[in-house]
């Protein structure tokens, strides 16, 4: 049973995040937007102004997907691009990058379809994620944006974890520790 929590103030809303141990022995504050409609809307409301000058939004699946949807809706953007974790049949002519995940402790791949690559081409792109920690997923997203011919204009997340809070190239709503 989980009995350790970390309280974080996310733009005026306090959330108690369970502290979980990863297989590597690192402890993380687990932040999950899946199914949390009110929390997702709250975070999107506060992230939207940070990326309002971006032409298109881009996110890796899956926990930031509904967040990006809400940010795009707030900004009246009809479309946003998604990096998938598995290559779908319709993605044969897209792009692929490799990323090392702190959460899973494994190497993963991110894929973008030709359709989403066309959304990004020649545009100022805002990358949205739920949590930035090591920055590996963020770097993979940046590489995909560049491969598609876009320009990374902004990088925003709900939470900066550990040393990510020291980064000057991301905007975030709150910080959480990495132990």
CATH number at residue 9: 3.40.50.2020
* 1 pLDDT more than 60: no
Say how far apart CA 121 and CA 3 lie, in whole Å: 47
Please, which residues bridge with residue 8 across strands?
Answer: 15
* Cβ pair 120, 145 in contact under 8 A: yes
* Cβ pair 158, 67 in contact under 8 A: yes
pLDDT (tens digit per residue) in 153-173: 999 999 999 999 999 999 999
Element holding 15 (H helix, E strand): strand 13-21
pLDDT (tens digit per residue) in 64-111: 999 999 999 999 999 999 998 877 777 678 888 887 765 556 788 899
Structural domains in the chain (count): 1
Say how far apart CA 149 and CA 68 lie, in whole Å: 21
Q: By residue range, what is the domain housing residue 59?
A: 5-176
pLDDT (tens digit per residue) in 113-167: 999 999 999 999 999 999 998 888 899 999 999 999 999 999 999 999 999 999 9
Q: Quick one: 47 exposed, middle or buried, by C-beta within 10 A (0-12, 13-18, 19+)? A: buried
């Amino acid at each position: 049973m989980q009995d350790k929590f970390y309280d974080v103030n996310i733009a005026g809303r306090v959330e108690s995040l369970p502290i979980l141990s990863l297989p590597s022995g690192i402890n993380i504050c687990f932040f999950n937007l899946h199914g949390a409609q009110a929390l997702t809307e709250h975070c999107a409301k506060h992230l939207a102004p940070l990326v309002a000058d971006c032409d298109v939004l881009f996110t890796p699946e899956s926990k930031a997907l509904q967040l990006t949807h809400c940010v795009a809706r707030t900004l009246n953007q009809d479309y946003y691009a998604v990096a998938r974790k598995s290559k779908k049949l319709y993605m044969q002519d897209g792009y692929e990058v490799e990323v090392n995940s702190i959460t899973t402790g494994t190497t993963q791949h991110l894929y973008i379809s030709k359709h989403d690559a066309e959304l990004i081409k020649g545009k100022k792109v805002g990358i949205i994620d739920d949590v930035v920690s090591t920055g590996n997923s963020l770097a993979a997203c940046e590489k995909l944006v560049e491969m598609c011919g876009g320009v990374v204009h902004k990088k925003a997340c709900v939470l900066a974890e550990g040393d990510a809070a020291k980064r000057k190239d991301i905007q975030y709503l709150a910080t959480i520790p990495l132990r």
